[in-house]
Amino acid sequence: MRLRRSRPMLGVVVPAYNIAPLLPAALDSILGQSYKNLHVVVVDDGSTDMTGVIAEEYADRDPRVVVRRTANHGLGAARNTGLTHLAGADYITFADSDDVVPRTAYATMVRTLERTGSDFVTGSVQRWEDGDLVEPVWMHSFHNPARLGTTAAADPRILGDVFAWNKVYRRTFWDSAALSWPEGLRYEDQPTLTRAYLAAAAFDVIPDIVYHWRIRTDGSSITQQRSTVADLRDRHLTKRMSLETVQKYVADGGDPEVLEVFLNKTLPGDLRRYFAAIPEADDEWWYLLVEMVRDIWSEGTLADASMPPGQRLIGWLVENDRQAQAQHVASWIAEHGRVPRNEAGTALEVPGLDPTGIDPHAIRV
């Protein structure tokens, strides 16, 4: 009689900090997965509300859940702590405590890895905002069509999918690549995911929706604080860390196209949110933005980046420390949307913007 092999264990790390109202939905979605062989570690990162108590109640009811309490050290440290308690897991994944995991997500991802033998798998995501679930266009384009057993050299654009939680990783790969999360920083996902993509012998990209990303609008999310100096410093540092990883990959013989795509498409991807903050930001923040752009694109120009024409123009103005003009263009875009063009449709013509001294290359369409 052939014995049925037990399913591999999937370890799930759930960092939690002062998230009591939303934690039950997150844990219910994880424990309600169609994939049952789970070991869930909730790391209470020094919460001052009922987060820890709620997590302990779940652990009392379900033996698959354990809770670890720590002083508050941030998301990266909490994830790293959780990993130390997953010694027996064959696969690992991460879930933020304010989000929800669709019921079949883990089964789909583990099944994919069992079939392909790849190092990790990444699926698509829906934003969950005001009760609506919408797959962002850029996430859809990253994940469609499916690519199984691909690599960074074959698929450099996927490095723009920098989320920790829409992926399942083979534990042996995670350990052999010596992956961990930066601690004490916002935006810790990108440096680690960049290393993962470049270290993997192969990874899988699937179109399935595997995560519901809750968008909080109360200002409590760190990603809603882009006009602060602390936020911008962390963004600069994590971009620099990620860029250095790609540069080393190329120096060690990796495909140079990965670096080209990373600089022209991946790293500029979030700049529009920072550019939108220019009109209201103070001088200290502005000078940090100039420093970041000049540093990351020191061997090129954002005028060549894969961004809409108005964003490329703002990028050039930032590079050249044209604060007043950048404020004007950013304000125009915020109020009117699409930037007007000349009669020939070949160049931008922003009302009230004096083009004197602006490189024609920066205002081309």
Structure-model confidence comparison of residues 337 and 209, the more confident one: 209
Counting the structural domains of the chain, the total is: 2
CA distance 221 to 273: 15
Smallest Cα–Cα separation from 305: which of 264, 364, 273?
264
Torsion of CA 299, 304, 308, 310, to 10 degrees: 80
For residue 69, how many other CB atoms are within 10 A of its CB?
16
pLDDT at 219: 52
Residues 60, 198: one domain?
Answer: yes
- Whether residue 78 is contained in a domain is answered as yes
For residue 295, how many other CB atoms are within 10 A of its CB?
12
Smallest Cα–Cα separation from 109: which of 117, 121, 101?
121
- Whether residue 1 is contained in a domain is answered as no
Is 330 a residue whose pLDDT tops 80? yes
pLDDT at 87: 86
- Whether residue 349 is contained in a domain is answered as yes
Record the tokens describing residue 25, joined without a space.
């939905």
CA distance 182 to 191: 8
Residues 354, 263: one domain?
Answer: yes
- 198, 249 Cβ separation under 8 angstroms: yes
Residues 194, 273: one domain?
Answer: no
Residues 173, 281: one domain?
Answer: no
CA distance 5 to 3: 6
Return the ∠ at Cα 241 (arms to 235 and 242), rounded to 5°: 90
pLDDT at 225: 57
Residues 206, 246: one domain?
Answer: no
Is 221 a residue whose pLDDT tops 70? no
Domain range enclosing 164: 10-222
- Whether residue 2 is contained in a domain is answered as no
- Whether residue 146 is contained in a domain is answered as yes
Alpha-carbon Rg of the chain, whole angstroms? 22
User: What are the Cα distances from residue 105, in Å, to 117, 156, 331?
Assistant: 18, 24, 41
CA distance 274 to 252: 33
- 158, 197 Cβ separation under 8 angstroms: yes
Residues 250, 113: one domain?
Answer: no
Residues 206, 313: one domain?
Answer: no
Is 71 a residue whose pLDDT tops 70? yes
CATH assignment at residue 151 = 3.90.550.10
Write the pLDDT tens digit of every residue in 255-296. 999 999 999 999 999 999 999 999 999 999 999 999 999 999
Q: What percent of the chain has pLDDT over 70?
A: 96
The per-residue DSSP string of 174-189 comes to: HHHTT----SS-S-TH
Task: Single out the residue in 172, 196, 222 at which a domain terminates.
Answer: 222
Band the pLDDT of 1: cuts 50, 70, 90: very low
Return the ∠ at Cα 98 (arms to 52 and 29), rounded to 5°: 90
The per-residue DSSP string of 68-121 comes to: EEE----HHHHHHHHHTT-TT-SEEEE--TT-B--TTHHHHHHHHHHHH--SEE
Write the pLDDT tens digit of every residue in 13-42. 999 999 999 999 999 999 999 999 999 999
Residues 57, 145: one domain?
Answer: yes
Which residues have C-beta within 8 Å of that of residue 257, sequence separation ≥ 6?
Answer: 153, 156
Residues 236, 104: one domain?
Answer: no
Residues 201, 236: one domain?
Answer: no
pTM of the model: 0.94
The per-residue DSSP string of 218-241 comes to: SS-SGGG-TTSHHHHHHHHHHHHH
Task: Single out the residue in 222, 245, 267 at which a domain terminates.
Answer: 222
Question: Are β-strands 167-170 and 120-129 bridged in parallel, bridged antiparallel, or unpaired?
Answer: antiparallel
Which residues have C-beta within 8 Å of that of residue 220, sequence separation ≥ 6?
Answer: none
CA distance 313 to 360: 10
Band the pLDDT of 53: cuts 50, 70, 90: very high
Band the pLDDT of 218: cuts 50, 70, 90: low
Element (H, E) at 67: strand 65-70
